A = this chain, B = another copy of it.
Amino acid sequence: MRARTTIKDVAEAAGVGVATVSRVLSGGSASPQTRERVLAVAAQLDYRPSALGRNLRQRRTGGIGLLVPDVTDSFYGRVADGVLACARAAGEPVIMGVTGDDAESESELIGMLLEQGVERVVAVPSGDHEPWGPAVRAGLTVVFADRRATGRDDIPAVLADERGGVRTAVEYLVGLGHRRIAYLGGHGQGQRAAAFRDTLGALGVTVDEELVVFGRATRDSAYAAASGLFQHRPDLTALVAGGNQLGEAAVLAARELDLRVPRDLSLIMFDDVPWAELCAPPLTVIAPPAQDIGYRAAELVLRSAGRRARGVSLPTELIIRGSCGPRR
């Protein structure tokens, strides 16, 4: 590989000192003719200042770290897209890592980011608080997206208004006459389950704890949870799925057990995905602004250089399609 063109090469070729080149390129003062010559030579040599040199010298690295549980999940894909869009607009590179919702992976990844000199990170945390102590102690500016890590309320977060979303959905179902409503939750969605219970309670419907179940992170586990729920409690008439993979599992399990949606079972899913519309019937969903969540989180972590930022809660939208009907 050809040796990289350095500032020194440009300086020599232009017959000036390196400082002058540096100044010209970063918009400092220089006589018009010098400026022009330097610029010409730099373009000629296709010179690109090395971020390595600059960052080392300035003891600060631009760039932001991005940690998500799973890029493959449409929701996190959209969150990532938002972060990437904002970073791009700001000219910042983003180093990305996948945690698999595993605290240990998360810790490793944080270590890697630290090593790279990254000092700002947007993360959808696994939920475990463990990895984040060392992170902030090392001076990382972090903003959470979509969830918090337990006990780290000091770290600003950009969240969907899950409580509002779930409440609207549950009210809708109750309005349709449903009483035995189940909740199928996943990793790190305590908020949603809590909102579910609260709303039911507020509406005077007794919460049946047997109807609140949790799958683990995998598709198989979600399917098993859904299927088990349907078989164990054939009396339930409606289900709220806490995320798109859980919704997918619910649709599959319902079909497998010959439950007709919405006749036998009303279904609402948290998260709007393209396939919700392709489903038969199309799925009624609580749509969180995934892309926005990412964008805002990135904005926050970029703006808040040093000082502490306040978190944000973004509204969700209930999109009524065809998967809910009156209680049979």
Residue interface mask A39-77, B partner, CB < 8 A = 1: 000000010111111011001010100100011111001
Q: Which residues from chain B contact A73 at a C-beta distance below 8 Å?
A: 77
A219 to B278 CA separation, bound complex (whole angstroms): 13
Q: Which residues from chain B contact A49 at a C-beta distance below 8 Å?
A: 115
Residue on B with the closest CB to A91? B112
CB–CB B74/A72 < 8 A? yes
A81-89, A157-165, A200-208, A229-237: which lies at the B interface? Answer: A81-89
Given A46-B134, A50-B117, A72-B74, verify A97-B84 contact (CB < 8 Å): yes
A111 at interface by CB-CB < 8 Å: yes
Near B by CB (< 8 A), chain A positions 75-122 give 77-78, 80-81, 84-85, 88, 91, 93-98, 111-117, 119
Given A52-B117, A72-B78, A97-B84, verify A274-B275 contact (CB < 8 Å): yes
A220 at interface by CB-CB < 8 Å: no
Near B by CB (< 8 A), chain A positions 1-17 give 1-2, 4
Query: How many chain-A residues does the 8 Å CB contact rule pick out?
Result: 60
CB–CB B81/A115 < 8 A? no
Q: Which residues from chain B contact A36 at a C-beta distance below 8 Å?
A: none
A84 to B70 CA separation, bound complex (whole angstroms): 10
A19 at interface by CB-CB < 8 Å: no
A115 to B2 CA separation, bound complex (whole angstroms): 15
A195 at interface by CB-CB < 8 Å: no
A interface residue numbers (CB < 8 A to B)? 1-2, 4, 46, 48-53, 55-56, 59, 61, 63, 66, 70-74, 77-78, 80-81, 84-85, 88, 91, 93-98, 111-117, 119, 134, 137-139, 219, 245, 248, 251-252, 273-275, 277-280, 306
